[in-house]
């Protein structure tokens, strides 16, 4: 090890090049030792992990020095009545926030005892939006006309780059001498950003060739990826999913210690009016909490929680109960590729029965999306109930601030 450390120190060996000289486990050990010396710290726990480092450094990480562990809990059983997910599920949630799992677990109980969450996928399409410059507005119009009139040609170009993805839509947005082309793809069981980026590059080359427009950037931010954006709420991105459940009056009282009218009022004044006054692009209680916890557990890109936070939660008082629904316009996830191949993340996907590709292709990712939407519904329902009953602070005291190894396990609410 010493000779490698010396070379790292004198600059004749770069951190990123270690795997070219030694196997991945040794490269990680050397790199961690170098950082320990540079930072003047010891990192024994960071170097203790169970995942296959050889696989990780090839697909998921650069300059690896170790792994961070996040506690994983389960909430459930959660009954889901979707087109792809139909049954009872225990949902893995990776989080460091006390009370979150307990809150979602309480919501799962309410959903399941009410007969289950009905879930449907409304749209399916991952997007990338190259941006072009043109000579003048007449040229911009000509580019738009080419996009509108040659969808089959664009789809054929995309098909040259992938046997899995499929172009399903293309929309041109003109702003003076700037043209954004929002391309939408069915990526089957993959979340698909790499797939659509490569396919979009081929399409962009074709647009340049046929129209004379200049490609400025392969991503022009009208995708919109990993940023809050109204376009995702309107057109959708990834999976657009809706989940709902009817909770009888008696269960609202028994489980949440409140009533349907109060649930509806809390949702109206907090999630709807409060979000509107704040200028929020999401009208929900804490949808991002649940999405983030599932994503981290199951090897998804946690940055896509930004789009998932644009969830809309609705609560309607009905005869004999209350109907609660969540609409998630932009839920980006997959069951193959990315972090789904890491050992512990794949095990969490296996808990849900969604690890790997599906038959037909795309079925696994859609099943996963339906389960996530149902879990978000459970989380929203539980927090609204906690707020309606005035239990939020009590739950934080019991589960969020207890001494290590102590604290009550009562199912309180959670959220911001």
pLDDT mean over 225-233: 97
Sign of the torsion angle spanned by Cα atoms 218, 224, 227, 230: positive
Say which CATH architecture domain 73-124+239-400 belongs to.
Answer: Alpha-Beta Complex (3.90)
Give the model's confidence band at 395: pLDDT under 50 very low, under 70 low, under 90 confident, else very high: low
Model confidence band, residue 390 (pLDDT cutoffs 50, 70, 90): confident
CB 127 within 8 A of CB 184: yes
Q: What is the mean pLDDT of the segment spanning 305-328?
A: 97
Tell me the pLDDT band of 410, cut-offs 50, 70 and 90.
Answer: very low
Please determine whether the domains at 73-124+239-400 and 130-217 fall in the same fold group of CATH: no
Q: Long-range contact list for 23-29, CB < 8 A, 24+ apart?
A: 23/54, 24/53, 24/54, 24/56, 24/57, 24/64, 25/53, 25/54, 27/57, 27/64, 28/53, 28/57, 28/64, 28/65, 28/66, 29/1
Per-residue pLDDT reduced to its tens digit, 5-47: 999 999 999 999 999 999 999 999 999 999 999 999 999 999 9
**pLDDT value at position 392?**
62
pLDDT for the residue 67: 97
Condensed to tens digits (0 to 9), the pLDDT of residues 75-97 reads 999 999 999 999 999 999 999 99
Residues 164-176, mean pLDDT to the nearest whole number:
97
Which residues 6+ apart lie within 8 Å of 299 measured at CB?
Answer: 338, 339, 340, 341, 342, 345, 346, 348, 349
Q: Which active-site residues does the annotation give?
A: 97, 301, 396
pLDDT, average across residues 177-184: 98
Average pLDDT of every residue of the chain:
94
Which architecture does CATH list for 130-217?
A: 2-Layer Sandwich (3.30)
pLDDT at 416: 41
Per-residue tokens: 78: 């959660």
114-161 per-position pLDDT tens digit: 999 999 999 999 999 999 999 999 999 999 999 999 999 999 999 999
| Predicted confidence (pLDDT) at residue 273 exceeds the cutoff of 70 | yes
Which residue ranges make up each domain of the chain? 2-59, 73-124+239-400, 130-217
Percent of the chain with pLDDT over 90: 93
Q: How far apart are CA 12 and CA 404, in angstroms?
A: 46
Tokens, residue 376: 């978000």
Cα distances (Å, whole numbers) of residue 98 to 200, 334, 378 = 42, 27, 17
Checking if the pLDDT of 411 tops 60, the result is: no
């Amino acid at each position: 090890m010493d000779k490698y450390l010396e070379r790292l120190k004198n600059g004749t060996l770069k951190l990123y090049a270690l795997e070219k000289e030694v196997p991945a486990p040794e490269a990680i050990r050397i790199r961690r030792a170098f950082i320990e010396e540079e930072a003047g710290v010891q990192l024994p726990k960071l170097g203790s992990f169970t995942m296959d480092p050889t696989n990780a450094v090839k697909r998921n990480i650069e300059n690896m020095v170790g792994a961070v562990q996040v506690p994983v809990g389960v909430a459930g059983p959660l009954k889901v009545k979707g087109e792809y997910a139909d049954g009872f599920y225990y949902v893995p949630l990776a989080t460091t926030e006390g009370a979150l799992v307990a809150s979602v677990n309480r919501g799962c109980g309410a959903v399941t005892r009410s007969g289950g969450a009905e879930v449907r996928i409304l749209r399916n399409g991952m997007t990338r939006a190259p941006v072009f410059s043109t000579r003048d507005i007449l040229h911009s119009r000509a580019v738009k006309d080419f996009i509108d009139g040659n969808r089959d040609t664009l789809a054929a170009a995309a098909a040259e780059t992938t046997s899995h993805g499929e172009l399903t839509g293309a929309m041109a947005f003109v702003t003076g001498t700037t043209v954004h082309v929002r391309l939408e793809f069915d990526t089957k069981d993959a979340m698909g950003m790499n797939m659509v980026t490569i396919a979009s590059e081929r399409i962009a080359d074709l647009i340049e060739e046929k129209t004379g427009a200049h490609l400025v950037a392969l991503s022009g931010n009208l995708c919109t990826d990993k940023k809050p954006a109204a376009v995702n709420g309107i057109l959708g991105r990834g999976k657009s999913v809706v989940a709902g459940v009817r909770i009888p009056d008696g269960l609202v009282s028994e489980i949440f210690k409140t009533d349907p009218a109060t649930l509806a009022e809390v949702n109206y004044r907090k999630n709807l009016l409060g979000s509107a006054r704040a200028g929020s692009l999401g009208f929900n209680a804490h949808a991002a909490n649940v999405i983030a916890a599932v994503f981290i557990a199951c090897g998804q890109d946690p940055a896509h929680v930004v789009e998932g936070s644009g969830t809309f939660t609705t609560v309607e008082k009905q005869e004999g109960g209350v109907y609660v629904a969540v609409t998630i316009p932009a839920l980006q996830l997959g069951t193959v590729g990315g972090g789904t191949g890491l050992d512990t993340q794949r095990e969490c996907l296996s808990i849900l029965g969604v690890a790997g590709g599906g038959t037909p292709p795309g079925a696994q990712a859609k099943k996963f999306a339906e389960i996530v939407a149902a879990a978000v519904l459970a989380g929203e329902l539980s927090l609204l109930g906690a707020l309606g009953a005035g239990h939020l602070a009590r739950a934080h005291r019991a589960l969020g601030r207890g001494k290590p190894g102590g604290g009550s396990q009562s199912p309180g609410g959670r959220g911001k």
